[in-house]
Amino acid sequence: MAKAQASFTCTACGASFPKWSGRCDACGAWNSIIEEAPLSSGPKSLGAKGRTVPLTDLSASEPPPPRAASGISELDRVLGGGLVPASAILVGGDPGIGKSTLLLQAAASFARQGLSCLYISGEEASAQVRMRAQRLGLAEAPVRLGAETNLRDILTTLDAERPRLAIIDSIQTMWLDSVEAAPGSVSQVRAAAHELVTFAKKRGVAVILVGHVTKDGQIAGPRVVEHMVDTVLYFEGERGHQFRILRAVKNRFGPADEIGVFEMTGSGLSEVQNPSALFLSSRDTPAPGAAVFAGIEGTRPVLTEIQALVAPSTLGTPRRTVVGLDSGRLSTILAVLEARVGIPFAGLDVFLNVAGGLRVNEPAADLAVAAALLSAREDIAIPPDMVLFGEISLSGALRPGSQTENRLKEAAKLGFTQAALPRGSRSGAASGMRLREMADLTAFTGEMFGAG
């Protein structure tokens, strides 16, 4: 018996349901479930005979796919060493963050390396893209340009041109005449992405899909596309900051969690080869409330400054404002400080911020967060030549983590001379840093701020 066709989909997380409800059971979003036309795929009855699928051994020796490097090393790093032929890549990000700029620069770069490259814009007219290219100094790059939203026409064109790379900007503007829904709806986005990914695999054309993400989920998020593609990159950053981070959240052909760092300038995005220096560059005199976290982003150590401000609150429920870190993590650390070390933050507003607009997801940032909070609260500055890292467990113990050596080496390279880290971290003696290993948060508080 055929299963009932689910025809309601959450625009926030992509989960599907057999009936509508006001709140998505999967992700908890409100008003995000919409009806969609059922997919008309699959054999009508399984009695019909299919063809046999050709099978191979695991040992079948195929040379690793040759990768094409763009020459933009921050981009190549995030792709895992270059573009894999016939792969499908999604580049997501807030509108206006710089996706089109990045991909136009990438297209020009790939084209200059001899990779035939097609850029299809569904958002801008060709003249607008050309104007942008001129401003970026890319006008003479051999990129073929098209402005179209009808996917059938685009696929026909791709089939005729057979480029090695096709960039579709953006997937939300594409529409298939066989799907009865507005462009940007979940059904259209999913169907269009499916067609393009299938085309990529069949014809050996790498495709890059641009997808806008909005916080309120008004436009069908690229979430529904994520599982179809090989690689998912997110382009993030704070609008007010010039720094942009390209982050691999999924990559079938390379390490996930790798980041590339760019700076938005008047003439497009420029690469930032040494992000630590950049994220710390605004440091001047040591101030209470700042702690330098020696983190790892992908395969690379990155130093960032964690900043905290603690002030008496006038509100019944004190403020907890976090930028660049998980707010749940802040609550946990505040609770551990109160319950295990005896330092309460009740009645105090807490503001926490990662300098430079980077987003830090590593649990090893805990110690630097706690240090910044304590430093702000006690009004005692942390030595300016110190880096910190270590995960805090609910008992208040500091848990040794990974890549101690790499973190310390990067810190030493940037002129730091001492590090606070969990006891039992595999020694980083080679770095020449003064190591202050501590077993728990109480020991840390006692040593750094002279109180428990």
Contacts to Mg ion by CB under 5 A = 100
3 state SS of 18: coil
CA distance 288 to 332: 22
Of 99 and 329, which CB lies nearer to ligand TYD in the complex structure? 99
How many chain residues touch ligand TYD (CB under 6 A)? 15
- Site stretch for ligand TYD (CB under 6 A), options 43-51, 88-96, 107-115, 331-339: 88-96
CA distance 443 to 169: 53
User: Considering only residues 10, 79, 90, 97, which one is a binding residue for ligand TYD as defined by CB under 6 A?
Assistant: 97
C-alpha angle 185-189-193 in degrees, rounded to nearest 5: 175
User: Considering only residues 118, 264, 388, 419, which one is a binding residue for ligand TYD as defined by CB under 6 A?
Assistant: 264
CA distance 354 to 365: 11
The CA-atom distances, in angstroms, between 235 and each of 33, 232, 316, 327, 377 are 26, 10, 37, 21, 34
- For residue 450, state whether it binds ligand TYD (rule: CB under 6 A): no
By a kind-dependent CB cut-off of 5 to 8 A, residue 298 interacts, out of ligand TYD, Mg ion, none, with none
CA distance 103 to 126: 15
- For residue 63, state whether it binds ligand TYD (rule: CB under 6 A): no
By a kind-dependent CB cut-off of 5 to 8 A, residue 268 interacts, out of Mg ion, ligand TYD, none, with ligand TYD
Residue pair 292/388 in contact by the 8 Å Cβ criterion: yes
Of 124 and 405, which CB lies nearer to ligand TYD in the complex structure? 124
- For residue 70, state whether it binds ligand TYD (rule: CB under 6 A): no
- Site stretch for ligand TYD (CB under 6 A), options 264-272, 281-289, 296-304, 313-321: 264-272
C-alpha angle 296-426-77 in degrees, rounded to nearest 5: 25
- For residue 247, state whether it binds ligand TYD (rule: CB under 6 A): no
- For residue 266, state whether it binds ligand TYD (rule: CB under 6 A): yes
Of 14 and 237, which CB lies nearer to ligand TYD in the complex structure? 237
Burial 37-46, CB ≥16 within 10 A → b, else e = eeeeeeeeee
User: Considering only residues 11, 100, 149, 185, which one is a binding residue for ligand TYD as defined by CB under 6 A?
Assistant: 100
By a kind-dependent CB cut-off of 5 to 8 A, residue 184 interacts, out of Mg ion, ligand TYD, none, with none
Residue pair 217/207 in contact by the 8 Å Cβ criterion: no
User: Considering only residues 82, 92, 98, 183, which one is a binding residue for ligand TYD as defined by CB under 6 A?
Assistant: 98
| Closest C-alpha to 360, from 382, 385, 391 | 391
Antiparallel, parallel or unpaired: β 88-93 and 418-422: unpaired
Query: Which residues from 340-369 bind ligand TYD, rule CB under 6 A?
Result: none
Of 43 and 96, which CB lies nearer to ligand TYD in the complex structure? 96
Residue pair 88/207 in contact by the 8 Å Cβ criterion: yes
- For residue 244, state whether it binds ligand TYD (rule: CB under 6 A): no
Query: Which residues from 112-151 bind ligand TYD, rule CB under 6 A?
Result: 132, 135-136
User: Considering only residues 43, 47, 50, 96, which one is a binding residue for ligand TYD as defined by CB under 6 A?
Assistant: 96
By a kind-dependent CB cut-off of 5 to 8 A, residue 382 interacts, out of ligand TYD, Mg ion, none, with none
Q: Tally Cβ neighbours within 10 Å of residue 73.
A: 12
Task: Report the half-sphere exposure of 324 (CA within 13 A, side-chain side).
Answer: 24
- For residue 399, state whether it binds ligand TYD (rule: CB under 6 A): no
According to DSSP, residue 341 is labeled I
- For residue 95, state whether it binds ligand TYD (rule: CB under 6 A): yes
| Closest C-alpha to 426, from 396, 389, 390, 401 | 401
Of 192 and 386, which CB lies nearer to ligand TYD in the complex structure? 192
Residue with tokens 């299963």, as numbered in its chain:
3
Of 38 and 95, which CB lies nearer to Mg ion in the complex structure? 95
Residues of the shown chain interacting with ligand TYD in the complex, contacts defined by CB under 6 A: 93, 95-101, 132, 135-136, 264, 266-268
